[in-house]
Structure 1
């Protein structure tokens, strides 16, 4: 093209004729930040009578994208973006491990080799739909799931693949991980728009906490107290709503039994190599939780047993020792997964569908049902919102509402077991009174027992204590209990 001064103006972009007769439009778009090579936008126009005109239109369109910075600056793949993003993202250790696990298991095998610039909302939504059908991305093809990799002799553990959908919450987590990485790619001008912002993730699941009911809570406390140290851990989980990692990292200097205050500063976790480590709490904030007198007594007894063990080992106490420990000298804390597994075995023995996190739900549910304001409950549980900022100051944690929360939950807790030499517990008094009425014939087979509420009112105890008395009679086979019906006296074997 000639300019007015006679010199030829260089045309941006070029059009090449391919052996097939098609035209390839090629426009320079800068240097690829990943490979360091020159990056071009290309488009192929099929051969035809109007091919030259269409090629010129394509050249103009691609040039406009470059000028307006709407073109991808790189041919980098999603794998390369994720690697780079994980290098610079400020993510705590356990969150990073969760991200990497989901990316390595679900994203990289299917989308990892796809250029970032070719990723769009349709591709992402199709990917999410496939995960909701089968987490293994089987594509509907039948195959055998082998128990080990490599050549081996198949056993009954090698079986046909059965599709298991990934939960909606997990798919949503994957969506937000990708959205974060792609948002950073936009900021780096690797791509012009974030396709994840245009894709629709699965709807958030409806909250469905499943805390133990009062009867099951009483049974859990009773069963856990076969080992008083383990029982104290379960008790503290119920009364404070502390997370398992926070309980595993708890040390004696975090307890002020005189003031009745527990400070939660650290949380235990397992690193990528399976080694036990500690970090800040989930919200990166320490919190102080008021303890009721009964919980203070539980922890005082736990400390006395700890002191006695060290005396037998000819060792001295150390405030930095762990409160809950599998070691006699409390020198090492529990692994969080050990707490989960031991509680799971306990619940399974009792025939209760429960997990350790459900004890947080129990604490929250009982407090809210008792009328404690949500702001205070959120503060006790260490939730990120709900007023925890105002509860950072020490005095705020000892506020009237927090003390009332501690006392309210204590009143709703089932009575903890005591040693055989201790005075009779209230639930035992109630249970023995009912046993006597059954033995004397004042309560005959088939007769309904007083309601739990009536028992609690008559004896001046909590509903949880009354529940525990009924659970004790049920375990002895003296009464029959059915959901939705009054407990009745069971038929007694003759002789």
Structure 2
């Protein structure tokens, strides 16, 4: 039998303890556990063998080096214990905290909660994320039944065989953020030296696909909402201000300033649901109040809303206090509309209209219209309450804008050179022949066009073409066939080839371009300015939009009006029933009211 090596003499840090069946256990003191307050030891077992003591010494040296470099975890705490400590110090909103606890309870604790903090690595995380994207119930491929309740019951039709449903990639990313925040704290507390989250690969963020209502859909939504003036004022203000639904529900009467020169809306509070407290008034999402300038139409809408609120309160002998809510079901404005009820009412309305949209997309509509009007992204981000200098606004909220895209296309087209006249195959060959038989045929066709050969004259014989153009007899015959295909030559009742009667205009030999008198795309108007245009049909407001145009150019205004009529679902043949207020962007009063007729040129 091989002789087992003996332990080296002398005192060393740490210990190596013999275990049954020749195994050895290496133990190294690593400090005080910050969670339990007890002494924390690193232990590792070595298999029996002739080199067991040497391997144990190497392992002990390695563990001592890790302890000295503080690369080893200082705790036996589990991931559940880490998350509990992390959430105890969480400084976010109660709603976010409640969401985090739900994700931890449903997904992290059942799979990872029992692991020690130092056991988590990139391989485990990738496997964890893959399992969540496969099945949100963590079935691990086992057959099971999804019961209607966890209590004792008799299974019926509602207890069905389990079908795997993946967790949304966005939710998996939220779980990744929870673990990342907890491990960042763990590194800061020196529970471990390096966070494994840096090597994890959560699902990529979904590509933003904003789909705001079109101009025609927005007009229908506003028209339908105005059946109830309060509801119409809410929808109109949401579209022009771009506030979140909770921010709109939390507007107080004192937050509306309609004094001339100071027209603005001061967003200070928002209505949101707090865990255990229900709907309540709280700070804004970004914890930063916003003052939003108002256009004249919105000023008129809000002034009428305030008048209705005061009239309802006065009818019951009540006073509308400054802290009353602007949108309220109580005569004195003491209660607020809840965001969920607003969403449900909006969903019912757009369903009746056959429009697939949500109330949040009104913010998309606001961002899109402002960017299309030429407003810089930082200003748009400030109105919407975004941080990051407009990055979020451009990435997630501004949709493709047809009017802006059309202006870009016109600007590009104005700088392009005149394009050649499109020609068919015959004209292309006659203007630029490439082969000898084509050159011969083009020469004969030119003689016909110039009158050297009249209709009914005998066609040139093939030997004549050979002598005149220096080509072979086969080439000359092929050119006559081509002239026949063009209709330049014709054979009547099996007789000889003669010149046919020509019914087209002569074709120039060189490539033709449009004559100088042909109108080229008009260059951008020198006096074009950013205009705000309001469309009305028989006195009823239809849409408000912005574009670049010359307010003194009647033809340009006519084209804009006709396009707006078509976009809002109208008939441009009845354009005489429409009128359009023309106003400088940011101006107080319209410059003019433009009317036209179907025959305006």
Deviations 1:72-100 (A, max 9, x none): 01111111111111122322333322322
CA contact (8 A) 1:145 1:158 kept: yes
CA contact (8 A) 1:270 1:335 kept: no
Query: Larger RCO: Structure 1 or Structure 2 (Cα < 8 Å, ≥ 6 residues apart)?
Result: 1
Query: For the residues of structure 2 that align with 1:464 and 1:28, how far apart are their CA atoms?
Result: 82
Distance change >3 Å, CA 136–CA 322, structure 1 → 2: same
CA contact (8 A) 2:222 2:232 kept: yes
Are 1:269 and 2:288 counterparts?
Answer: no
Distance change >3 Å, CA 426–CA 299, structure 1 → 2: closer
Deviations 1:47-78 (A, max 9, x none): 12211111111111111111111110111111
CA contact (8 A) 1:426 1:461 kept: no
Determine the structure 2 residue equivalent to 1:351: 354
Query: For the residues of structure 1 that align with 2:532 and 2:277, how far apart are their CA atoms?
Result: 37
Are 1:315 and 2:430 counterparts?
Answer: no
Determine the structure 2 residue equivalent to 1:297: 300
Determine the structure 2 residue equivalent to 1:377: 380
CA contact (8 A) 2:247 2:270 kept: yes
Query: For the residues of structure 1 that align with 2:299 and 2:246, how far apart are their CA atoms?
Result: 21
Determine the structure 1 residue equivalent to 2:181: 180
Shift of 1:224: 2.1
Distance change >3 Å, CA 190–CA 158, structure 1 → 2: same
Query: For the residues of structure 2 that align with 1:129 and 1:270, how far apart are their CA atoms?
Result: 32
Are 1:215 and 2:216 counterparts?
Answer: yes
Determine the structure 2 residue equivalent to 1:467: 568
CA contact (8 A) 2:234 2:248 kept: yes
Query: For the residues of structure 1 that align with 2:44 and 2:385, how far apart are their CA atoms?
Result: 55
Query: For the residues of structure 1 that align with 2:161 and 2:73, how far apart are their CA atoms?
Result: 43
Alignment of 1:314-333 (within 5 A): 314-333=317-336
Distance change >3 Å, CA 237–CA 138, structure 1 → 2: farther
Shift of 1:274: 4.7
CA contact (8 A) 1:171 1:202 kept: yes
Shift of 1:112: 1.4
Determine the structure 1 residue equivalent to 2:540: 425
Are 1:95 and 2:102 counterparts?
Answer: no
TM-score by length of 2: 0.64
Are 1:306 and 2:309 counterparts?
Answer: yes
Query: For the residues of structure 2 that align with 1:408 and 1:163, how far apart are their CA atoms?
Result: 54
Largest Rg, 1 or 2: 2
Paired positions, count: 415
CA contact (8 A) 1:294 1:410 kept: no
CA contact (8 A) 1:248 1:324 kept: yes
Distance change >3 Å, CA 368–CA 77, structure 1 → 2: same
Deviations 1:157-184 (A, max 9, x none): 4333332222222222221221111011
Task: Name structure 2 gaps, 5 residues minimum.
Answer: 1-8, 392-528, 544-554, 575-601
Query: For the residues of structure 1 that align with 2:271 and 2:566, how far apart are their CA atoms?
Result: 33
TM-score by length of 1: 0.77
Shift of 1:311: 1.5
Task: Name structure 1 gaps, 5 residues minimum.
Answer: 1-7, 389-406, 418-422, 429-453, 474-495
CA contact (8 A) 2:269 2:282 kept: yes
